[in-house]
Amino acid sequence: MLNFSFQNPTRIHFGEGKIAAISQEIPLDARVLLVYGGGSIKGNGVYQQVSDALTEHTWFEFSGIEPNPTYDTLMKAQEIIKAENIDYLLAVGGGSVVDGAKFIAAAALYEGEGGDPWDILVKQQAVTKALPIGAVLTLPATGSESNGNSVVTRDEYKLPFSSPLVRPLFAVLDPIVTLSLSERQISNGVVDAFVHTIEQYLTYSVNGKVQDRFSEGLLQTLIEEGPKALLSDTKDDLDVRSNIMWSATMALNGLIGAGVPQDWSTHMIGHELTGAFGIDHARTLSIVLPAVMKVRKEQKREKLLQYAARVWQVTDGDDNARIDQAIRLTEEFFKKMQVPTRLSHVDLGSKDIDLLIERLEQHGMTALGENDDITLAISREILTKAL
């Protein structure tokens, strides 16, 4: 096991009716800005529940945060924050809303040289202060509700930043809320959480037995429960939704990745697919991951065999056959989740690879993977394998 430091202080309130907990979580003298997206929370009753919980509080609202939240939209929130002396953000939505709230929180108190919050993203200037954030999660996927990570989009750039200061103080996870999601939203969420887990697991072994078992447990849960959320018989089963929701949070709250190597190449290559062609984040991952597995088979051999045996119970055949079978089963799982597994499934072809490689180079993504040895040439090989 590698040395590590780990802390996750976000208080989780999980279960039906837990949105009411925000009334106790947010100080009564706070001036709260409710931050949300396109208004689906008004249709599914969440906005009403939040309003009901905040009757004693002073609060304002800022809506319109997009999937892949944009810098320009997030900066608009600064006006109301200044005008109303906002000192607490309540993010109500999925990962994009929570990610957006994190940037709003950091930008509001940014004091770096020049004072331009853009530097947080483009110069990776450290966040030294941020407004406190609480979250009501409506879409299980990114884990953003209990981590300090955020990705913000400006033009074709998807730029991440990270700080413990923007980790939500609390997060409400009510699985009932997820029943109003579209099939596409729920499938994207399951696939995102699955790939987050894989990226902290499928590297080389450091004998981190607890981390491996926990990751395998999350993968197994997502494989068992994910497809049920799309089948008419089981899609409204609250247990299914609960297990998916808790898996997605645990997949990226820092725990399973503490003390083990990580390989975020699938995400990094995927980001370029979203930036260049507007493909849903999770759908870029389901296209890229199988190709990463195939191209990095030798480097990931030991863990791929473990993945085959423990996650898929594949024990017949020689090493190569077992690995190939595990990759095939991964692709079948993605198909059950109704997401694409090839570039051709989203109408892209070999002619589009040059642009993606160019963007990877532009964004400094020239040494990806757990050993920093996925060069641009290997990323090209991965994209070619994904055709």
Give the residues lining the site for its own copies (CB under 8 A): 1-18, 21, 207-210, 212-214, 216-218, 220-221, 224-225, 239, 242-243, 246-247, 250, 255, 258-259
Which ranges in 95-237 belong to alpha helices (H)? 95-108, 118-122, 183-199, 209-225
Nearer to its own copies, 16 or 319 (CB): 16
Evaluated on CA atoms 145, 151, 152, 155, the torsion sign reads negative
Nearer to its own copies, 212 or 324 (CB): 212
Question: What is the closest distance, in whole angstroms, from the C-beta atom of residue 224 to its own copies in the complex?
Answer: 7
**DSSP state, residue 259:** T
DSSP string for residues in 242-303: HHHHHHHHHHTSSTTTTTS----HHHHHHHHHHHHH---HHHHHHHHHHHHHHHTTTTTHHH
Question: What is the closest distance, in whole angstroms, from the C-beta atom of residue 170 to its own copies in the complex?
Answer: 8
Nearer to its own copies, 17 or 27 (CB): 17
Question: What is the closest distance, in whole angstroms, from the C-beta atom of residue 45 to its own copies in the complex?
Answer: 18
Instruction: Starting at the earlier edge strand, list the strands of the sheet with 58-62.
Output: 58-62, 31-35, 88-93, 133-137, 170-173
Question: What is the closest distance, in whole angstroms, from the C-beta atom of residue 54 to its own copies in the complex?
Answer: 19
Paired tokens of 62: 């800022």
Short-list 328, 323, 340, CA closest to 286: 340
Question: Rounded distance, CA 284 to CA 286, Å?
Answer: 6
Nearer to its own copies, 165 or 268 (CB): 165
Question: What is the closest distance, in whole angstroms, from the C-beta atom of residue 80 to its own copies in the complex?
Answer: 30
Query: What is the CB-side half-sphere exposure of residue 223 using CA atoms within 13 A?
Result: 19
Nearer to its own copies, 154 or 310 (CB): 310
Q: What is the largest CA-CA distance in the chain?
A: 67
Contact criterion met (CB below 8 Å) for 135 and 145: yes
Contact criterion met (CB below 8 Å) for 261 and 206: yes
Nearer to its own copies, 151 or 193 (CB): 193
Query: What is the CB-side half-sphere exposure of residue 287 using CA atoms within 13 A?
Result: 26
Question: What is the closest distance, in whole angstroms, from the C-beta atom of residue 354 to its own copies in the complex?
Answer: 42
Contact criterion met (CB below 8 Å) for 19 and 53: yes
Nearer to its own copies, 111 or 233 (CB): 233
**DSSP state, residue 317:** S
Question: What is the closest distance, in whole angstroms, from the C-beta atom of residue 42 to its own copies in the complex?
Answer: 25
Question: What is the closest distance, in whole angstroms, from the C-beta atom of residue 280 to its own copies in the complex?
Answer: 25
Paired tokens of 197: 């887990």
Nearer to its own copies, 63 or 249 (CB): 249
